[in-house]
Amino acid sequence: MVRTMKIAGAGLCRRGTPNSGLKARGFSLIEVLIASLILGMSLAGILGLYVQCATRTDWSAESVAAQFQAQSGLEQCRAAKFDPDGTPPIDELVSSNFPTQVYVLDMGTGSGTSIYGTNRTTIVSLSTNPSLKFLRVDCVWSSRRGLLYTNTAMTYRAADQ
C-alpha cells in the first residue's frame, strides 16, 4: 500500500522518493520555444524600426542640404545688380549669368559618401514698368537609393532691391 500526503503547493507525491516530497517543476520545451519566438519577433520589430528611422533621418538630412543649396542659388540671384531705370541701366539678373552648377551637398555627417546636387536657375521677366522678375532655383539631387528629387526656392525681384 502506498501512502500519500499533501504538501502545500506541491500536490500529491509518494513518500520516500528522492525528491523528499517536493514535485519538480519547470518549463516545457514548447513554452521555451514560444517565449523565444515572441522575444525574437519583438527584437526584430524594434530593429526594423531603428533601421527605418535611420534611413528617414539620412533622407531628411539630404533634403535639407538640397534646400539650403537652392536657397543659396536664390541669394546669388538676389545679390545681382538689377536697376534698369538707373543711369546707366544695369541688368545682371539674366539666366546666362547663372549657369547650371553641381555642388556637394553639405549634410554634416561623417558617412564618407558625398551626395551631389545640381542647381538650375530660371529667370523670367514679368513686366518692364514696373520692372519685375521671377526667380526660381531648382536643386536636383539623387538619394542614396538612387531616386531623383528636386528642391525649389523661388521669389520675385523688383528693380533696385
40-74 tens-digit pLDDT: 999 999 999 999 998 898 889 899 999 999 999 99
**Confidence grade of residue 159 (pLDDT, cut at 50, 70, 90):** confident
**14 has a pLDDT exceeding 90:** no
In a domain, 12, yes or no: no
- Angle (nearest 5°) at CA 56 between 47 and 142: 130
In a domain, 127, yes or no: yes
**120 has a pLDDT exceeding 60:** yes
In a domain, 92, yes or no: yes
Q: Which residues pair with 141 in a beta bridge?
A: 117, 149
Taking the C-alpha atoms of residue 132 and residue 125, their distance in angstroms, rounded to an integer, is: 6
Taking the C-alpha atoms of residue 73 and residue 151, their distance in angstroms, rounded to an integer, is: 12
**Confidence grade of residue 112 (pLDDT, cut at 50, 70, 90):** low
In a domain, 26, yes or no: no
In a domain, 131, yes or no: yes
In a domain, 140, yes or no: yes
pTM of whole model > 0.95? no
**1 has a pLDDT exceeding 60:** no
**17 has a pLDDT exceeding 70:** no
**pLDDT in the model for residue 27:** 81
Total of domains in the chain? 1
In a domain, 36, yes or no: no
In a domain, 99, yes or no: yes
**8 has a pLDDT exceeding 70:** no
Residue 125 structural domain? 60-158
Taking the C-alpha atoms of residue 23 and residue 5, their distance in angstroms, rounded to an integer, is: 12
- The separation between CA 157 and the C-alpha centre of its own chain, rounded to angstroms, equals 33
